[in-house]
Structure formats: structure tokens, C-alpha cells
Structure 1
Amino acid sequence: MVKQSRLTEYILAICGGLVLLLSGCRVGVNLPHADTVMPDRYVESWNGSADTLTMADYSWWEIYGDTALQAVIDATLRNNRDLAVARARIKELAAMKRVASAALLPSVSGQAYGQRETLNYGGDSHKGDPEFGLKATVSWEADLWGNLRYASDKSASELRAAIWSERALQMSLVAEAAKSYFELVALHTELAIVKSTLAARRESERIAKLRYEGGLTAETSYLQAKTETARTATYLPRLEQRIAAMENNISTIMGEYPSGIVHADRTADFSLPERLPVGMPSTLLRQRPDIRAEEERLKSAYAQVGVAYTDRFPRLTLTATGGLENEELGHFLKSPMSFLSAGLLGPIFDWGKRQGAYRAAQAAYEGAVSRYEGVVINAFSEVRTAISNYTKVQESYDSWAALERDAKATMELAQVQYINGAVGYLNVLDAQRSYFDARVGLSNAMRDKQTALADLYLALGGGWSDNATSVDVKEEQAKQ
């Protein structure tokens, strides 16, 4: 009996060693890789730096120096509700990853029970059969083919994708907040232009009235001045409405109830640098968090193929139970028991269900490959478009600045000539309208310069930072 017991132990030890050896293996899945071959340059004529340095390496507070804008962005990264949802999703997936990782390890459960069963076979004797037990069970599924490891890899990729998606959302929100702020400043500048123009129109109307009443001009000139004053006044409510809507939009981005937004009276003039570091196209794969997120989703789809593939093979579960069991409570501690079992469960015929799941996972992976390639192509297109806009907005601004100077000189000359009777009031009106349009156009051109810089910064992957990530999310990342 002793020799037989030792032989049994040897056999169990050998089987256990084989199981451990097999569980260290994983069945490979051969799938096509995504195409990430990119052009050497974004734009052939771009005179910016083409090395690995990129302006996206700068923090957003270094790009946006306006302190009021910095306050808007900081509030956005702290309070935006979509960002809060993304961070909660990270914590959810981090917990799910722990669930998937725990499946690789043995599970231990305990049971304490007492029961009393009565028996009366044939109706001759009524007999009680009590039983008391205290047991612990260890159960472990041997990951022979890598099924559980594929599931764990899938969960880890989903978590990393959520982290990168949260950073991509940061990037988008920073750009959206900046561009909305620039639009708000431009609207306030236009409102100031309209108010100053309206004051000038009223002064012109007063002068026209005096000249008419003094018999120096016809009534037509006076009526034209009144009409132009009224026309200018119609701009005010429309601009105020747009300003209120933009402030509400910025408040929503900031995750706050609608309120007035503190802003600069007018953005100081600045010239865009002729050369900016944009890096090589290949750096986009590292810098843009939306690409990194899609890459992790591609890995998750690959792992799902592995899960579906290995689901078709048998699964081995080992169970060991040990403890105490006795019919009499007084002899409970003197009655140890043990139980060992191994179960092999595998599909025999399931009407093609597992094969269908495998093919579906393959198709999903093919879609993930195409989606990843599409994200890369779209990112490259966004950078190329941003560079093209960047190279032209400074030229447009210079043209508007020159037009504004000439229109102002023309208007001042026309007013002097009108007072001296050299020209009619229509000439003054035309000159005033041209100057008004030039001032508004110059303000919008300034906004376009700021927006072009923001668009290029966004396209290159700038605007996200680990420093902007909440403490809870950082803790979840550290656990990974």
C-alpha cells in the first residue's frame, strides 16, 4: 500500500510538471500586420525643421501664453464632464484587467457546514445520519493553449487604449478651448470696433445735420448719414448674441454652468515664426494619442482572435480539496479528508459555433487593421492641411494690415475733403465702410493666425500631458 501510494504521488508530480510546462506555451496566431509606411516629409516645400523635434513636445501653457486662456484650459482639464467619464472608464477597465489576470491564478474557496440527514429504508428503522465538515478547495485551470493569457492581453490592451483615449480627449479639449477663446476675443474686438464706428457715425450724422441746416448741403447727405448710423447699430444685438453663445460654449467645455468668461481685451499682435519644428511623419505614431489608442485597439482585436482560436481546444481544470469531515462532532478533529480531481473539457460537435466565433474575430481584426491605417492617414492629412493653412495666414494678415492702414488714411482724407466741400457725402460713406470692413477683417485675420497655430499644434499631437491627468487615473496607470 505504501509503494502504491508513492507511485501515485510520483504520477501526480509528473502530470503536474507536464501541466506547468504546457501552460507556459501559447498557440500562435498568424495575422497580417497594419501598414505604417509613411512619406518622409509632410509637405515638400515646408521650410520648417524636419528632424525628430516637434512643437508638440512643448506643453500647452508654453504655446498659449495668455493667462486668461490658461485659466480656461486649466478649468477644462479639471472639470470637463467628458474627461471625467473617460477617467471613470479607465478605472473600470483597470478593475476588469485585474479580473482577467486573476483567472490565470488558482482560486481558493472555503466551506464549513453541518447537516443532519434521516434515513428510513423499508420503513423498518428511522435512522439519523449527521455530518460535519470544514473544507478548503483549490481550483486552477491550466492555460495549455494560451486562452487565458490572450484574454489577459486583450484586457490590458483595452485599458491602455482607454488611457490613450483620455489623453487624446485632453488634446482635443485644449485645442477646442483655445480656438473658442480666440473666437470670443475676436467677437469682443469686433464689438468694440462696431461701438467706436457707431460713435463716429453719430458724430458724422451731427455734422451732416449742421451742414444741412446751415444750407451748405442738401437734405440727402443728412439722410444718408442717419441711414448709415442706423445700419451700424444693427450689428450690436447680433454680435452680443454671438458673444453670449460663445461664452456658453466655453462654459460647457469648462464643465461649468454658463457665465461670463474673463478674457483679454484684445490679443496683442504677433508674427508667426517662419520655421517651426514639425518633426518627421513617423513621430506622429509616437506623439498622437489617438493613434496610440487605435494601436492598442488593434492589439486587443488580435488578442480576441487568439481567444476565439484557443476556445476550440480542450480545457484542463485541476481541483484539490482538503479538510475535516466526520459524522460525530466529538471526533471532528481526528478525521482529515482530501480529494483530487482533474477534468478535461473539450468541444466535440457544436454546429460550428466556435469556428464561427473565430472567423468573426478574424474579420474584426481585419477591420481594426483598416481602421488603424485610416487613423494614421487622417492624422497625416490633418498635419499637411494645418501646415498649408499656417503658411498662408501670415500673408493674409499682412494684407489685411496694409488694407486697414490705407482704408484709414482714405477715410480721414475723405472727411477733410467733405468738410471743405471738395467731395460729396457718398465718398465719406464709402471710405468709412471700407475702413470698418478692414478693421473687422484685420481682427479676424488675427484670430485666424492664432487658430492656425492651434490647429498645427493639435495636428502634431500637442496638448496632452500626464500632469493634466487626475490623481485617480494616475494611480490606476501605476498599478499596470
Structure 2
Amino acid sequence: MNREQTARHARGIRVWLFLLSVVAAAGCKVGPDYHRPAPLGTNSVPAAFTGITNEPGSARWLTAQPASHLPRGRWWRIFEDGELDRLEDLAEGNNQPVMAALARLDEARASVKVARADLLPQVQLDPSYTRQRTSFYAPQNGHAAGIAPTYNTFTALLQAGWEADVWGRVRRQVEAARAQLGASAEDVAAIKLTTQAEVASDYFTLRALDSEADVLVRTIETYRRSLELTVNRRKGGVATDLDVSQAETQLRTPEAQLPAIRLQRAQVVHALASLCGRVPEAFALTAEPLGLGAAPMAPVSLPSELLERRPDIAAAEQRMIAANANVGVAEGAFYPHIVFNGLAGLQSVDATTWLHWPSRLWSVGPSLELPLFTGGRNRAQLSLARAQYEENVANYRQVVLGAFQEVEDQLAAQTLLASQLEAEAAALKAAQRTLEIANNRYKSGLVTYLEVATAQSAALTLESTVVQLRGQELVAVVGLVKALGGGYGPATERE
């Protein structure tokens, strides 16, 4: 082996050693690896749900660890209402915010593919044909080179390039894109859960309004009969004009209230139509009062880890992961970019020789781009990425705090509304007994109609209050299910 061959062999070994070192270094990644921060910062995680007692219970709060993979199921079936089931199914397939969220999920999937493409070699074919003329006064004009000043160029080039991701900058980009994909998936779940909860809340509000309207209609009929009775008693000389006036005033009050209830009902139906992706003209719901069954109550030992399946917490963490990866992307800008380029092809000024072997050309070799001066751009981008990460940490902690608040609010509402409903129901029974006694005393001529009117007004007010509380109690159950991420026990998970 002569000296020239030895030198060429040594250069080849050095090239291969360089390539091996690049491959070995490819396992490194710039930037910090993600570690979940404390969910409440410097504050300690509460020991348990406090509800309205502020005393530790058997259900303990756990450090928020998004577990959105836990089944949510068709949680609204705990209400055993076929019409609600139908509306939920209709909203699931037609709600436009859900459709928009699904489109954003597709966008995020495409973004991951775009980011991953930078890890692979890029190859392209560039065939071209040009006809051109060289300047007579050019340093090497066509005449001096023995070429006609006007000539054709036929070219077909196959070009390839690959960036060796030595520092892991591109891999951090992929990591960020995947985290954004995860956030988009959780956003879809969050919007679906919100839509489901809104449908259920509006549905129970609608049924409560139907019950109120039913109470008013029955009251109007009762008051109308009372007015007729009072008028007849006045004709017989038993009742006075004041009794008639009081009976008429009593009748006109619920008659004036009924249109307002019907207006509220129409607005709730329109809201449900929008949630279900329908125009109001093509959407109607038959009036049906609330059922008399007890509302589903949260178990006393409600496991607080169900909070971990809230999709908004999971989405906030995924955005935090993406922001952390973007810090690595920004740090990667300080390191050199190593790119391997190559091309091969054919080029000729004559079409007859274009495809001949002597027309071939090729080049191959690495290039290195090392940033020396960027006017502070790279440092500013790194500061921006770090600030965005801190912003996402704060957002994550606020979502966790909001989740604690929502669960506590809904637990307190469910407990207090149940107690209030029980008390109001007992008061209603007493008022109905009072009304019955007042009617009997009035018919016997022992009292004036004012006593009857007062008893009827009290009974009407209490019956309307009971109906409203019943609707609020069901809405509170829906709120608790939503606050816990969809369901609060094995029954809902099995659905």
C-alpha cells in the first residue's frame, strides 16, 4: 500500500469515527427532563374533603395525578331518565364545540407527524431544463470557454439531507408536539364532559320549570273555583265585596307569573337545541314535571382520587410538559447543527448526451452551522421558553385549586339543598293542612276569605319552592359529577 492509499485509508477511518461519535451522542437531549411540580406550590395538599363541616373525613385528598384514562362512562344514567339519555346521545354526535375540538385534535396529530419528519432524511428529485445566454463581458464568457453564448442545460438531481440530532433539539420538538397532542385529546374529553353536564343541567332546569308551570296551572284552576264560590256566596249574602276582590287578586297573581315561567322554559329549550346541534324551530320537548324520586347522593366515603381523572387537570399538565420540552428546543439553538447533504444526478448542455454516463455529477459531505452572533435572539428565546413554562406551571396549579373548590362547593350544595328540601317539604305538608282547615272554617262562616287566601298563598309559595329546590338538587348532582371528572363511584364506571 503506497503512501497516498494509506492517507486515504486514514481519512476514511476518521470519517467513520466521526460518524460513530455523532450516533453515540444522539442519545443526549438538551434541556431539563420533565418532573411534575407540587400541585399547590408551597401549600400543603388538604387532608380530606371538608364539605360544610371543615372536619377531616374518611375520603382523603391525594396529590393530583391526572388519570384521565379512568372510565367516565355514561354517567348521566344514574338519573334513570330515558329522555335525558336521548338528549345526551344527540349532543354527543352533533355538538359543534365538540366537533371543533375533534378537529383541533386532528391538527395536533398532524403537528406530531410534522415534527417527527425532521428526524428522518429528506430526499427530493429536482429535474429542470433551462435555456440561457451568458454575458459577453463575463469573466468566462461563452466565447472564451468555447461554448455558444446561448445554450440549453438539462439537469436531473436527486438530493438528500439529514440533520444529526446530536443534542436532541428535534427530539424535544417531537416531545412538545406529542404533549400538545395529549392536551388536545384531554380538551376533547373536557368539552364533552362540559357539554354533557350542560345538557343534564338544562334538562333538569327545564323539568323544574315544567313542574312550576304545573303548580301554577293547578293553582289558577283552584283560585278560579274559589273566585266562583266567593261570587256565589256574595250573591247569597254570605260573603262581602272585599272577599270577592281578595279572591280575584289572588287569581291574577299566578296568572301573571305563568307567562314568565313559560318564557324561561322556551329559553332553556333553545339552549338545549344549540347544545344538540339543532335549530330551535326543529327542536321541541314535551312538558313533563320532575319525578318524585330521590336524587342520587354522593357516598359518604367519596374517594378523592376521582378528582385525578378531570380532563382539564390532565390537559394543563400536558401543556406544562410541552412548555418544558420547548425549553430544550430553545437551548438547542446554542449548539451547532450538523447536517449531512448529498446529491447525485445528470447534467448536460445537449439532450442527446444528457443520459450518458459522463454527464453524471455528485457531491456528499457534512456541514456544520455554529451560531456565533445572533443579536441576543437565542437568549431571548430561551428566556421566553422558561417564562412560558412558569406560566403553564401557574395555570396547572390554578386548575388544581379550582378543582378542589368546585368539588367542595358541589358537596356543600348537595348536602345543604337536601336538608333544605326536607325542611321545605315538611313545611309544605303543614301549609296544606292549614289550607284545608281554613277552607272548612270559611265554608262554615267562621273566618273571612282573607284567611283562606293567606293559607293558599303560603301553600303555593312552598310548593313552588320545593319544586325549585328539587331542580337545584339535581343540578348540584350534575355539578359534582362534572367536578369529579365524570361520575363518583363504581356504578358510573361500569356504564
TM-score exceeds 0.5: yes
- From 7, 14, 19, the equivalent of 1:16 is 19
- Distance in 2 (CA, whole Å) between partners of 1:30 and 1:303 is 8
Give the secondary-structure state (helix, strand or coil) at the position aligned to 2:280.
coil
Rounded to whole Å, the distance in 2 between the matches of 1:28 and 1:309 is 6
More helix by share: 1
TM-score, L = length of structure 2: 0.87
Q: Which residue of the other structure, out of 17, 27, 32, is the alignment partner of 1:29?
A: 32
Q: Where in structure 2 are the equivalents of 1:102-117 lying within 5 Å?
A: 102-117=117-132
Correspondence for 2:285 among 262, 270, 273: 262
* Corresponding residue of 2:493: none
Deviations 1:224-271 (A, max 9, x none): 111211222101211111111111111111121114543562222223
Q: Quick one: distance in 1 between partners of 2:284 and 2:142?
A: 90
- Give the total of aligned pairs: 463
Structure 1 CA distance for aligned equivalents of residues 231 and 169 of structure 2: 91
Q: CA deviation at 1:449?
A: 1.9
Other-structure match for 1:467: none
Q: State the AA in 1 paired with 2:167.
A: W
Q: CA deviation at 1:182?
A: 0.6
CA contact (8 A) 2:173 2:326 kept: yes
Q: Which position in structure 2 is the counterpart of 1:276?
A: 299
> What is the rounded CA distance, in whole Å, between the counterparts of 1:57 and 1:87 in structure 2?
18
Write out per-residue CA displacement over residues 262-289 of structure 1, whole angstroms, 9 at most, x where no aligned residue. Answer: 356222222346661765434423x100
- 2 CA distance for matches of 1:14 and 1:329? 42
Q: Tell me the distance in 2 between the aligned counterparts of 1:31 and 1:322.
A: 43
- Extract unaligned runs of 5+ from structure 2: 489-495
Q: Is the 8 A contact 1:49 1:276 kept in 2?
A: no
Is residue 76–residue 200 contact of structure 2 (8 Å, CA) maintained in 1?
A: no
2:134 equivalent to 1:127: no
**Aligned ranges 1:370-381 → 2 under 5 Å:** 370-381=394-405
Q: Could you tell me which residue of structure 2 aligns to residue 42 of structure 1?
A: 49
Judging changes above 3 Å, is the alpha-carbon distance between structure 1 residues 358 and 126 closer, same or farther for their aligned structure 2 residues? closer
Label 1:7 to 1:327 Cα distance change in 2 as closer, same or farther (>3 A): farther
Cα distance in 1, alignment partners of residues 345 and 426 from structure 2: 93
Identity %: 26
- In the alignment, residue 127 of structure 1 is paired with which amino acid? A
Aligned counterpart for 2:214 among listed residues 192, 195, 218: 192
Out of 300, 315, 319, which is 1:293 matched to?
A: 315
Structure 2 partner of 1:96: 111
> 1:30 offset after TM fit, Å?
7.0
Deviations 1:391-415 (A, max 9, x none): 2222111112111111111111111
Task: Name the amino acid aligned to 2:240.
Answer: A
Tell me the equivalent position of 2:459.
435
Change (3 A) 1:353 1:400: same
Contact 1:247–1:261 (CA under 8 A) maintained in structure 2:
yes
Calculate the TM-score normalised by the size of structure 1. Answer: 0.89
Mapped partners of 1:46, 1:22: distance in 2? 53
Q: Which amino acid aligns with 1:14?
A: L
Residue identity matched to 2:292:
D
Cα RMSD, aligned residues only? 2.7
**Structure 1: 5+ residue runs without aligned partners?**
465-480
- CA distance in 2 between partners of 1:141 and 1:329 (Å): 35
Change (3 A) 1:33 1:241: same
SS in 2 for 1:320: strand
**1:48-447 correspondence to structure 2 within 5 Å:** 57=72, 59-118=74-133, 121=141, 127=148, 130-259=152-281, 260-262=283-285, 265-272=288-295, 276=299, 279-285=302-308, 287-331=309-353, 332-335=355-358, 336-447=360-471
Secondary structure of 1:132's match? strand
| Amino acid aligned to 1:430 | T
Pair 362,157 (structure 1): closer, same or farther in 2 beyond 3 Å: same
Q: Determine helix, strand or coil for the equivalent of 2:362.
A: strand
CA contact (8 A) 1:132 1:327 kept: yes
Q: Distance in 2 between matches of 1:30 and 1:398?
A: 55
Check whether the contact 1:164–1:293 (CA below 8 A) recurs between aligned residues: yes
SS in structure 1 opposite 2:22?
helix
